[in-house]
């Protein structure tokens, strides 16, 4: 890689003399410094891209390992992925390896899953999703023969939305209002005003299939009854790119991307929390850590939640758009209750429980309304059950299983937030009863390790506003131009990546946001 002159085009010499001094370990080469706050997948991908461009990326994260929500927990020989488990569109990762002239397969063992996931309903019926159109048609016909033609139309609908909302808008900056206005005719033609469920209801008569084809926004904390039908694009995304698992867990994928940061001459400092972005004359100049250390930067990239960035890290900066009031009134994604547990001697048990299982409760619409609109903790629940040991036995000691069970729950910003100090034990008991009845009879007495995360933990671990699982909800009026821009509207020299910025949550989204800022951050001035 070429070395560059310290004088960056984006930082005038006069500003530089007044900037806080570089910490000694950062002062050893002449490249312009890009400080990245947060080692989530968005932050790591940004650091790789800026490193390749000639910046010296310095990633600062409060956790003791990379990956953010994609970090993991190791206990008693069990490994628990704390967040993402489904890797789709591996090409967005492959592109990062391409930038350093290598292939991802040299570092990451990605395994395609088949089926992708299995959905179950309380009446005992099931649906196995996969990438093969004929097998999918057969699954549809098994549940509702009259809906096969609707499925074919739905697939075409999905691809059309994929082409516009993911392949085009999702890959480029959307900070100019004109860019959003320009696509309005397409959005109108594709009925973006309809909800995901609303669109599925047009194509399918069977209520189970309506659920199976519309629930995907829940994967990124959105209400299928209110999130735009553009999100049905996921059906095409999964079909075209598959559903994969990274052997060694998502943490292994995060470590591999972190390795690329080092390869491009960047560094990651763990267990440091940024307390403030330093701003002078309307431009970001660096950051101050909790404890007082200041690090000067030519460019600051925040992979911290956009809400946390504007509300806390820029607390002293007057805001034109992302005021505290606006952030409070925005719609936030759901919270998550996640129970990680390791069971002893169970590998041969529950053979019908595969890698990914969705267990529907008795209500779909009503439960979503409780979670997203009323903000109340319902008695019933729908669950996602992760059993990585079916693909990767290294997640548990021999013959044992590692699980996580996740329920979407209200975030903590509703009028009467759930007191998880009181409710967590009760909720876990109810979750255990559902698992015992619907999927894993006898599991509870075999648990040897466990760990629970509630929205309160998302608040303390990731500094996630209102303990939301996925930042701002992906409503249409909180997407594209309406979402916090990748080039900050409030401060020059500040860029945003990750779930709270464009294009949004999910691994393809946050890694894609780094691709977007790559188009926005100016080149460092070569020597
Ligand atoms: C339980 C769960 C399951 C999921 N499942 C999937 C899935 O299967 N597939 C998929 O594609 N997506 C999934 N997602 C979504 C996906 O994981 C996230 O959208 C994505 O990982 C978020 O990445 P990010 O770049 O926004 O950064 P984050 O992961 O949010 O990381 C940001 C990092 O910044 C740190 N930080 C914040 N503030 C500061 C500060 N002031 N100073 C220092 N550090 C700071 C945080 O601690 C964190 O480490 C899931 C999410 C969750 C929570």
Pocket lining: 72 vs ligand 1, CB cutoff 6 Å: no
Count of C-beta atoms within a 10 Å radius of residue 7: 15
Q: Of 93, 46, 70, 69, which is closest to residue 266 (Cα–Cα)?
A: 46
**Cβ neighbours of residue 19 under 8 Å, at least 6 residues apart?**
11, 280, 285, 286, 296
Pocket lining: 224 vs ligand 1, CB cutoff 6 Å: no
Q: State in Å: Cα 68 to ligand 1 middle.
A: 5
Mean per-residue pLDDT, 223-239 = 95
**CA distances from residue 276 to 266, 289, 314, 474 in whole angstroms, order as listed:** 21, 7, 6, 27
- For residue 12, is pLDDT > 70? no
Whole-number pLDDT of residue 29: 80
Mean per-residue pLDDT, 243-270 = 98
Mean per-residue pLDDT, 332-344 = 98
Pocket lining: 307 vs ligand 1, CB cutoff 6 Å: no
Residue nearest to atom 46 of ligand 1 (CA): 462
Q: State in Å: Cα 498 to ligand 1 middle.
A: 8
* Residue 40 near residue 510 (C-beta atoms within 8 A): yes
- For residue 74, is pLDDT > 60? yes
Residue nearest to atom 53 of ligand 1 (CA): 83
Pocket lining: 354 vs ligand 1, CB cutoff 6 Å: no
* Residue 231 near residue 218 (C-beta atoms within 8 A): no
Residue nearest to atom 10 of ligand 1 (CA): 506
Whole-number pLDDT of residue 346: 98
Mean per-residue pLDDT, 88-109 = 97
Angle subtended at Cα 237 by Cα 182 and Cα 218, rounded to the nearest 5 degrees: 90
Residue nearest to atom 17 of ligand 1 (CA): 84
Mean per-residue pLDDT, 506-510 = 97
Which atom in ligand 1 lies closest to the alpha carbon of residue 338? 1
Which atom in ligand 1 lies closest to the alpha carbon of residue 336? 1
**CA distances from residue 148 to 155, 216, 337 in whole angstroms, order as listed:** 11, 20, 35
Whole-number pLDDT of residue 26: 54
DSSP lists the bridge partners of residue 110 as 246
- For residue 20, is pLDDT > 60? no
Pocket lining: 36 vs ligand 1, CB cutoff 6 Å: no
Pocket lining: 266 vs ligand 1, CB cutoff 6 Å: no
Q: Which two tokens stand for residue 513?
A: 């946001």
- Residue tagged 């890694």 (tokens): 511
Q: Which two tokens stand for residue 461?
A: 């671990």
Which atom in ligand 1 lies closest to the alpha carbon of residue 220? 15
Angle subtended at Cα 173 by Cα 167 and Cα 176, rounded to the nearest 5 degrees: 125
- Edge-to-edge strands, sheet with 126-129: 126-129, 117-120, 356-359, 383-386, 401-409, 335-343, 447-453
- For residue 526, is pLDDT > 60? no
Which atom in ligand 1 lies closest to the alpha carbon of residue 38? 34
DSSP lists the bridge partners of residue 120 as 126, 359
- 406-458 pLDDT, tens digit each: 999 999 999 999 999 999 999 999 999 999 999 999 999 999 999 999 999 99
- For residue 226, is pLDDT > 70? yes
Q: State in Å: Cα 141 to ligand 1 middle.
A: 38
Whole-number pLDDT of residue 170: 87
- 266-295 pLDDT, tens digit each: 999 999 999 999 999 999 999 999 999 999
Residue nearest to atom 51 of ligand 1 (CA): 83
pTM of the full structure: 0.94
Whole-number pLDDT of residue 118: 98
Pocket lining: 246 vs ligand 1, CB cutoff 6 Å: no
Average pLDDT, the chain: 93
Which atom in ligand 1 lies closest to the alpha carbon of residue 404? 1
Whole-number pLDDT of residue 171: 87
DSSP lists the bridge partners of residue 332 as 472
Candidate from 48, 68, 80, 221 with most ligand 1 atoms within 8 A of CB, to mutate = 68
33-37 and 56-61 strand pairing: parallel
Rounded to the nearest 5 percent, the helix, strand and coil shares of the chain are: 40, 20, 40
Mean per-residue pLDDT, 162-170 = 89
Which percentage of the chain shows pLDDT scores above 70? 94
Which atom in ligand 1 lies closest to the alpha carbon of residue 308? 38
Whole-number pLDDT of residue 18: 37
Based on DSSP, count helices (H) and strands (E) in the chain, helices before strands. 16, 19
Pocket lining: 86 vs ligand 1, CB cutoff 6 Å: yes
Q: State in Å: Cα 65 to ligand 1 middle.
A: 12
Residue nearest to atom 4 of ligand 1 (CA): 84
> What is the rounded distance in angstroms from the CA atom of residue 502 to the CA atom of residue 197?
23
Pocket lining: 81 vs ligand 1, CB cutoff 6 Å: no
* Residue 342 near residue 453 (C-beta atoms within 8 A): no
Pocket lining: 336 vs ligand 1, CB cutoff 6 Å: yes
* Residue 78 near residue 396 (C-beta atoms within 8 A): yes
Q: State in Å: Cα 346 to ligand 1 middle.
A: 30
Mean per-residue pLDDT, 85-112 = 97
Residue nearest to atom 22 of ligand 1 (CA): 499
Classify the C-alpha dihedral 319-323-324-327 as positive or negative: negative
């Amino acid at each position: 890689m070429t070395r560059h002159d310290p004088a960056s085009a984006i930082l005038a010499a006069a500003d530089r003399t007044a900037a806080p001094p570089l910490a000694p370990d950062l002062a050893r080469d002449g490249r312009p410094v890009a400080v990245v706050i947060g080692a989530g997948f968005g932050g790591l991908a940004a650091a790789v891209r800026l490193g390749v461009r000639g910046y010296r990326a310095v990633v600062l994260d409060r956790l003791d390992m990379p990956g953010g929500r994609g970090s993991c927990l190791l206990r008693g020989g069990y490994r628990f992925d704390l967040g993402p488990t489904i890797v789709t569109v591996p090409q967005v990762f492959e592109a990062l390896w391409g930038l350093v002239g290598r292939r991802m397969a040299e570092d990451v063992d990605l395994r395609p899953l088949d089926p992708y996931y299995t959905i179950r309903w309380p009446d005992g019926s099931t649906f196995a999703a996969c990438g093969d159109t004929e097998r999918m048609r057969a699954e549809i016909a098994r549940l509702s023969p009259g809906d096969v033609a609707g499925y074919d139309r739905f697939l075409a609908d999905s691809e059309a939305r994929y082409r516009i909302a993911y392949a085009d808008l999702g890959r480029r900056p959307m900070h100019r209002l004109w860019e959003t206005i320009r696509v309005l005719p397409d959005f109108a033609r594709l009925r973006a005003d309809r909800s995901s469920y609303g669109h599925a209801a047009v194509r399918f008569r069977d209520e189970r299939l309506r659920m199976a084809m519309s629930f995907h926004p829940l994967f990124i904390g959105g209400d299928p009854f209110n999130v735009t039908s553009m999100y049905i694009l996921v059906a095409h995304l999964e079909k075209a790119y598959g559903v994969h698992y990274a052997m060694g867990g998502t943490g292994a994928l995060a470590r591999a991307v972190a390795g690329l940061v080092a390869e491009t001459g960047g560094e990651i400092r763990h267990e440091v929390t940024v307390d403030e972005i330093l701003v002078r004359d309307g431009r970001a100049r660096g950051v101050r850590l909790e404890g007082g250390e200041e690090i000067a930067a030519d460019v600051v990239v925040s992979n911290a939640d956009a809400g946390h960035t504007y509300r806390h890290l820029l607390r002293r900066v007057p805001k034109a758009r992302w005021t505290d009031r606006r952030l409070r009134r925005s719609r936030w994604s759901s919270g998550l209750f996640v129970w990680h547990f390791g069971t002893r001697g169970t590998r041969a048990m529950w053979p019908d429980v595969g890698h990914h299982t969705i267990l529907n409760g008795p209500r779909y619409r009503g439960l979503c309304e409780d979670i997203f609109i009323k903000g109340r903790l319902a008695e019933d629940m729908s669950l996602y059950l992760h059993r990585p040991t079916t693909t990767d036995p290294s997640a548990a000691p021999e013959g044992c299983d590692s699980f996580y069970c996740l329920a979407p729950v209200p975030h903590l910003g509703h009028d009467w937030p759930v007191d998880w100090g009181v409710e967590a034990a009760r909720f876990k008991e109810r979750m255990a009863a559902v698992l015992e009845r619907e999927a894993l009879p006898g599991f509870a007495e075999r648990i040897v390790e466990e760990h629970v995360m509630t929205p309160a933990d998302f608040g303390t671990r990731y500094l996630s506003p209102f303990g939301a699982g996925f930042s701002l909800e992906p409503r249409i009026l909180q997407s594209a131009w309406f979402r916090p821009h990748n080039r900050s509207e409030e401060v020059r020299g500040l860029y945003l990546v990750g779930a709270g910025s464009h294009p949004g949550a999910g691994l393809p989204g946050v890694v894609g946001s780094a691709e977007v800022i790559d188009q926005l951050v100016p080149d460092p001035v070569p020597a």
